[in-house]
Structure 1
Amino acid sequence: MIIPTDRDHARNLIAEQGITPFNVSEYQISVLMNCLRKAFKSAPNYNGSMRLKNRKVTKFLEMKTNQWERRECVSFNSDGFIGFAGWADDKNIQPILKAVGMWVEQLRKGGDS
C-alpha cells in the first residue's frame, strides 16, 4: 500500500487518478469514508478515539475525538483545493494519509475513478 509522505503527496496521488473537487463522485467519497474509518480504528492517536463525524456523503468530511467534537478531516473545496486536516501536526495527520493511500489503491484496483 502507498502511504503518502505528506499532504502534497496525497494531493498528487489523487490527481493521478484524475480526481478533483469538481468531479469526485459520491461513490468515491463513500469509499474514502470507509478507508478513513478503517485507518482511524487502528490509529493510536487521541487514545484510539478518532472517528469520522459524517454519516452522509459530503465533500467536507469532519472528524471528532475524545478531546474535541468537530474538525476538518478531508475537504474537496469549491476553489479546487483538496484539504487534509489543516489543524493536524505531522503525527496526527498520519491516519488520514494512510486512509488516502488505501483509497487510491482501491481506485487503482478497479474502484470508480
Structure 2
Amino acid sequence: MNSEEARNHFVKKGLSYEDITEGDICVLVMLLNKHVKQAVKAHTMSVDTMRMSQKIKSKYNTNGILKSCYLYINSHYFTQREAISFNEDGFIGFAGWADSGNKQPIINAFIEWVAYMSKQLRQIIKKVII
C-alpha cells in the first residue's frame, strides 16, 4: 500500500481526527516501533540504524480533539525526520523524505493502527446503539 492508499483507507474506515486520543497516538508509536524494528532486523530499510524518536509534537483543541501530531524517526545520520504527520489541514503525511523501502514499515504500522482504531470505533458505536 502506498501513502495515498493509506490515507484513503483511514477515511474509508470512517475515521477522523476527532476519533484520535493521546492514548491512540501511543498505540501508533508502539506499532511504529514494532514495524520499524522488524524491518531493520529483516534488512528491508536502507540502513539498520532506523528507530523511532521519543519526540512527539502534538496539539489538541480545548475539547480534546486532535489538531496536529508529528511522529519522528531517527538513524545514525539524522534525527527527527517525519515518520507520520497529522497536519492541521487534515493531510496525513508518511515519511516524505523516504523511498518506498523506508516508507513501507511506517505505512504498515499505520494500516495496523487503522484496524485497531476501526475496531475501537465499532465498539463505541455498538455501546451507543445498545
Q: Which range, TM-score by smaller chain?
A: 0.7 to 0.9
Q: CA deviation at 1:109?
A: 3.7
Q: Segments of 4+ in structure 1 off by > 6 A?
A: none
Structure 1 window deviating more from structure 2 (103-112 vs 32-41): it is: 103-112
2:87 matches 1:82: no
Deviations 1:21-51 (A, max 9, x none): 4552212211111110000111122433221
Using CA pairs under 8 Å that are at least 6 residues apart, name the structure with larger relative contact order, 1 or 2: 1
User: Which secondary structure state, in structure 1, belongs to the residue aligned with residue 90 of structure 2?
Assistant: coil
2:95 matches 1:95: no
Which structure's CA Rg is the greater one?
2
Corresponding residue pairs, total: 109
The percentage of counterpart residues that share the same residue type is 36
- The amino acid of 2:7's aligned partner reads R
- The amino acid of 1:89's aligned partner reads D
CA distance in 1, matches of 2:57, 2:22: 6
Match of 1:108 among 98, 114, 118: 118
Q: CA deviation at 1:57?
A: 6.9
Q: Which has the higher helix share?
A: 2
Q: Which position in structure 1 is the counterpart of 2:78?
A: 68
2:8 matches 1:8: no
TM-score (norm 1): 0.81
2:38 matches 1:42: yes
Partners of 2:33 and 2:52 within 8 A in 1: yes
- Structure 1's 86 and 61: CA in aligned 2 closer, same or farther, altered over 3 A? same
- The amino acid of 2:113's aligned partner reads W
TM-score (norm 2): 0.72
Partners of 1:46 and 1:67 within 8 A in 2: no
Structure 1 window deviating more from structure 2 (55-64 vs 74-83): it is: 55-64
Partners of 1:20 and 1:76 within 8 A in 2: no
Contiguous gaps of at least 5 residues in structure 1? none
